[in-house]
Amino acid sequence: MSKPKIFITQPIEVSSLKRLQQFMDVNMHPDSSRSILKKDLVKGIRGCDYLFCRLGDIVDADVIAESPRMKLIVTMATAPAQIDLKEATRRKIPVAGRMVPREGTERDSIIEETADMAWAILMAVARGVVEGDRLVRAGVFPGPQSMYLLGSQVHGKTLGIVGLGNIGKAVARRARGFKMGVFYYSRSRHLDVEKELDVRHLPFEELLKESDFISLHPSYTHETHHLISSRELAMMKPTAFLINTSRGPVVDEEALIEALRSKKIAGAALDVFEGEPHPKLPVDVIAMKNVVLTPHLGSAVAEKREIMSNTVVDIFLGFLEGKRPGNLFNPEIYTQ
């Protein structure tokens, strides 16, 4: 009896791959350097029963139509961001993903990893780490007390957090170690967190005006699209830095580039971009020395990615045993 076929859009960890191979005929796209292109996804999915995809993979109606045998789509993401859920539902294909972790749970949570990343790029842009690395590799060594490359102090400065969810709170905890004053803006007050973490709620515009560093952690919705644009950037201090590890479209990139070019703000550190999964940044922003750019590395930790990929495998193997996926995005197909 032949095994069911599964297509995986990027390489996964060996432990999870071996588990799948016991029960399925696995076809895996070999390129981990970028999100899969549509032509390769279309080619890979043909004749398959299952699809293992990731945040950033665009699974539209055309892709779904290429595999009429499809029985289940599972994404490593916690939401079906770029999956055509309407088309999958019309074809009675369940679409599932990783469960949204509760605060304090270790398995499958990327709260601490994303907070680490926000802090890493905050420090990198404030202290000129990337530019310093480039100089040393080019043979330039100004000396320990030179004025050639001066950064900004972090210790004792003010941090404004936009969106005090689990990741925002984790970033606030890290700020305590740097004795920073921490402000936050959220649609609702969190009085218990204010007391626990010694953070202060401010109206959005006031937070923009008062903060030395602004770290973005809102959910991406219609309301938060281009939450930071020309008007908001003009309110920031000329010495302030913008940090984004949430979603690219929260920031109007054209407005940000203009603010950086005209020195309305001191710098920016971005782990997410508009136009993902294949963003195209202008050449001038790539050349800016006061900008740190990383390719959406929030959860890119080997230990956590192994857990994440095995969580997806758990869903597939459970489905083979007749179990209904837990984090199902279109449960109505079971009642149609």
Residues annotated catalytic, as ranges:
247, 276, 296
Rounded CA-CA distance 115/172 in Å is 9
- Give yes or no for a cis peptide into 277 (omega within 30° of 0): yes
Rounded CA-CA distance 265/284 in Å is 16
Rounded CA-CA distance 96/89 in Å is 12
Please answer whether residues 52 and 312 qualify as being in contact, where contact means their C-beta atoms are separated by less than 8 angstroms: yes
Please answer whether residues 24 and 316 qualify as being in contact, where contact means their C-beta atoms are separated by less than 8 angstroms: yes
Rounded CA-CA distance 215/123 in Å is 12
Tokens linked to 180: 């920073």
Rg of the chain over CA atoms, in angstroms? 22
**C-alpha distances in Å from residue 120, one per residue of 123, 183, 216, 262, 263:** 5, 19, 14, 26, 23
SS3 assignment, position 175 = helix
In order, the DSSP letters of 263-283 are TSSSEEEES--TTTTS----H
Please answer whether residues 82 and 58 qualify as being in contact, where contact means their C-beta atoms are separated by less than 8 angstroms: yes
In order, the DSSP letters of 196-248 are HHTEEE--HHHHHHH-SEEEE-----TTTTTSBSHHHHHHS-TT-EEEE-S-G
SS3 assignment, position 109 = coil
Rounded CA-CA distance 62/140 in Å is 52
Calculate the CA 147 to chain-centre distance. 35
Tokens linked to 185: 């803006």
